[in-house]
Chain A
Amino acid sequence: MAGEKEKRAINRLESMRPLRAKVNETYLKSVEAMQAGKPAVWGMLNFYYGDPVLKAMDIEVVYPENYGAIAAATGVAQQYLDRANADGFPTHLCGYSLTTLGYASRMMKELKGQIPPEAPLGGMPKPLFLMSSAAICDARYKWFQSLGRYMDAPVWTLEAPTPGVKEFFIEGYYDRMVDLGVKHLSSFVTFVEDMVGRKMDWDKLDKTANLMIEINRVWHEVNELRKVKPCPMHSRDFWSAMPAALFLAGDLEDSLGLYQDMYKEVKGRVDSGTGAIPEEKYRLVFAELPPWHSLSFFDKLAERGWNFVIESFGYRPPIPIDLSKVSDPLERITRFNLQFFAGYYEDARKQNVLGGAFAYPYLKYAREWKCDGALLHPLISCRSASTHLPYVSNMLMEKLKVPSLSIEGDIVDLRLFNPQDALARAEPFEETMEHYRKMRKQEGLDW
């Protein structure tokens, strides 16, 4: 019965299901390929920068950050955490990094390179090389560097320029970011070629880049449709559908078709006035990593009329940018990657929000998607997903009179997020949202 009720609480998109199935199928296929000896790379989420290169070279990529979530959800993470701590890694480090370090320790030191039998979903095989990234947090390149203790896998660290909001507008600044990006990516291509002993197929890279950009444009348009009331698509569908666009999981042509189908379905809902939940009383923005293991928590909130209409800056497609006249695929990829952050800068400067790409997007989301509240989810062992949240909360209140509810969780210690407690805190927050609705009206804000 509970299951039936959950289904009704959120009206999930039909078009999300084949997209999700494709991603899962691709994952299993790549596990099989890797088990059969196809070289694999361990990668960090890098926002459309290194991934298209690997995709065009037909290299299988596994993402230990994601694998950390799987290990946590299946209950095997603890032994890896313990092992990493025993090896001397401090306990306060990112939980996913400790999981991977413990996993690598077990695989390389104890099992002489064999995948640990307890590893869920076929495990992660020893990588040919590691692709780390400087984007978002320090852990994401220091962690891969630390893996050198366990495996002699070369590391490539992808640069990720992070300008200040004012500084970005200094003459020539953006061009220099592009210049860095293109040169860096070009060296990365040479590195990958040397590693796999094959040359890049530039036509394929060109096509891959275009598909990546188009998929993300359509995906962006899908999310724009969510501005209407009632919002036709819930955050749960966003999270389920995003890996194909964010990680380029699966065949890109297939993905493009599936996102187009999703656009049609969501547009249909807009036209017919169908919402993602039966009665939309409150529209909310969610930041940042969701409690993957407790997503049914959102169904409970849906029953109370909470619709999550926009979410997680770190997973969103860049604001579209016309790159059709950029002939060099490396430059096109670079500009697209830079757009992930830089797409927000012009507006952030106008609004004088100096908090940069981590804070400004939430103001934009709350204003344009007309949110009544923000649900913030700081994570004990992922500081990068948490650090900016107090600032975001202050800005939302100061500039838009949008209140925030902060509910703590963690990426590996799943007990920290207690859905019952969270629900108990949600109820009084409704009064707060009501109160600020009135305040916004008084201040001349239109929602």
Chain B
Amino acid sequence: MSDKKRGLSKAREIYLNRSQRVRELKAAGKRIMGYPCAYVPLEMITALDLVPYRTCGDMKEPVTEADRALPSSFCPIMRTCLDCALKGKNDFLDGMVTIHSCDPQEKTARVWESYTDYPYFHFIDMPVTVRPEALEYFEGQLNDFKKTLEAFSGKKLSTGTLEAAIESHNRQRTLVRELYELTKPSPPLVSGTEIVQVVKALMSLPVAEGNELLADIMSEVQTRTDGPERKAARLLIWGSTLDNTDIMQVFEAKANVVMDESCGGIRAYRAEVRRSPDPIEGLADYYLNEITCARSFRQAILGETRKRYARDLQSRFGYLKGIIKEWNINGAIMLLVRYCDPFAFEMPSLKDYFDGLGIPNTYIEYDYTAGALAPLRTRVEAFLETIS
């Protein structure tokens, strides 16, 4: 890729040709490790000098190969991810790390492992509650992951290198949060579409290169004069994965998306791994407790024997309240990928929560195909009219 490009234009270039950098790295002798989900602890991959690469799908590519093993009424994100893999689009991968973040991911992992022959394939089981015994189990899972990854890489994972990797990834989280700070002004200094490109670029690069890119982007954006236009609506999008600019542009045609609470936005960067004498313990805690995805079962008080709905909502969605206030959000869109059960079950409760905060909101379902964009646009426009 062209070295002349920097900052946002470089992010855009990587977004459009995601695998180019890892292919170069592979040619230079690096090994590339695929992962499909924000729950895979990338720090361990980085620390063993492997390059993590998020395996995404392609909205524009009709699913054909994945039909061999997954039914059509199944998470379209997982279907397209697997489809791309089976079509050889990730032929540079040396291995794949999958995780039980939801049932479709677990099922897809089985098929993925059976139908491909990467030199390395590992599945991390993940509990659904955030109880102490679940955390302990998850820590055991990460220690197993460490063992197999060490065997594959032929290196020992020392505490020092893992801590250094945690620091780099935490740095990336901080930088992404700082980038989101720049969506606070009106108009925002960076658009939701640009952030999708940046985040996807980060998922395609070694962490150090990603951090350099982010630092560049920060200085560019802070002083830019060609930022997004001010629109009447300042939106929060909440959903599982929003990793495609075509989708984001549907929202941004008539609104500023100032917060993307999804795996293509801030979700994997909103918190960070705390320092802990055993870094794996810190990682287990971060990945199980700190990433707020619908897949986890959360309660206000663990094992509560009295329940109040308002308190329940607060424990599940409370993190959104501060965001809404600080980013001065005036509309929320719950974007649901069809057949995604963990997020679909949240919809009415999250609506209750938004209603309680007095935030206009709507729920829109689509199937992650290019054909879904036109109806999506109609729904978004209808919603924007109600809030203007």
Contacts and interface: CB of A to CB of B under 8 A. Distances in A.
Interface of A: 87-90, 92-94, 97, 129, 132, 134, 136-139, 141-143, 145-146, 148-149, 152-157, 159, 161-164, 166-167, 170, 172-173, 176-177, 179-180, 183-184, 187, 190-191, 194-195, 353-356, 358-359, 378, 380, 383-384, 386-391, 394
Most buried by B among A143, A162, A177, A380: A162
A353 B110 CA distance: 9
B345 A152 contact: no
Nearest to B341: A138
B284 to A, nearest CB: 13
A383 B363 CA distance: 22
Contact of B297 (A136, A145, A152, A177): A145
B122 to A, nearest CB: 7
A94 B70 CA distance: 17
A155 B345 CA distance: 15
B73 interface: yes
Closest 6 interchain pairs by CB? Answer: A164-B123, A142-B345, A88-B348, A183-B133, A180-B137, A134-B128
A304 B305 CA distance: 55
Nearest to A378: B71
Nearest to B347: A88
A180 B365 contact: no
Contact of A145 (B107, B111, B124, B345): B345
B308 A152 contact: yes
B209 interface: no
Contacts of A148: 307, 309, 312, 349
20 contacts: A89-B347, A89-B348, A90-B363, A92-B73, A94-B341, A97-B345, A139-B341, A148-B312, A148-B349, A154-B305, A162-B100, A164-B109, A177-B137, A195-B305, A355-B110, A383-B74, A383-B339, A390-B70, A391-B69, A391-B114
Most buried by A among B102, B111, B295, B338: B111
Interface of B: 67-71, 73-74, 100, 102-104, 106-107, 109-111, 113-114, 121-125, 127-129, 131, 133-134, 136-137, 140, 144, 147-148, 294-295, 297, 299, 303-309, 312, 336, 338-339, 341-342, 344-349, 351-352, 363, 365
B133 A387 contact: no
A386 B84 CA distance: 22
Contact of B307 (A153, A170, A354): A153
Nearest to A139: B341
B107 A180 contact: no
Given A93-B344, A141-B128, A170-B148, A154 B306 contact: yes
B71 A92 contact: no
Contacts of B121: 166
Given A355-B111, A384-B103, 6 more contacts: A89-B345, A90-B363, A148-B312, A167-B123, A390-B69, A394-B69
A80 B277 CA distance: 52
A359 B115 CA distance: 14
B74 A387 contact: yes
Contacts of A195: 305
A194 B305 contact: yes
Contacts of B137: 159, 161, 176-177, 179-180
Contacts of B341: 93-94, 137-139, 142, 383
Given A90-B365, A142-B345, A172-B140, A134 B127 contact: yes
Contacts of B348: 87-89, 146, 149
Contact of A93 (B100, B124, B312, B345): B345
Contacts of A129: 305
B183 to A, nearest CB: 28
B349 A149 contact: yes
A355 B338 contact: no
Contacts of B113: 164, 354
Contacts of B306: 152, 154
A176 B141 CA distance: 9
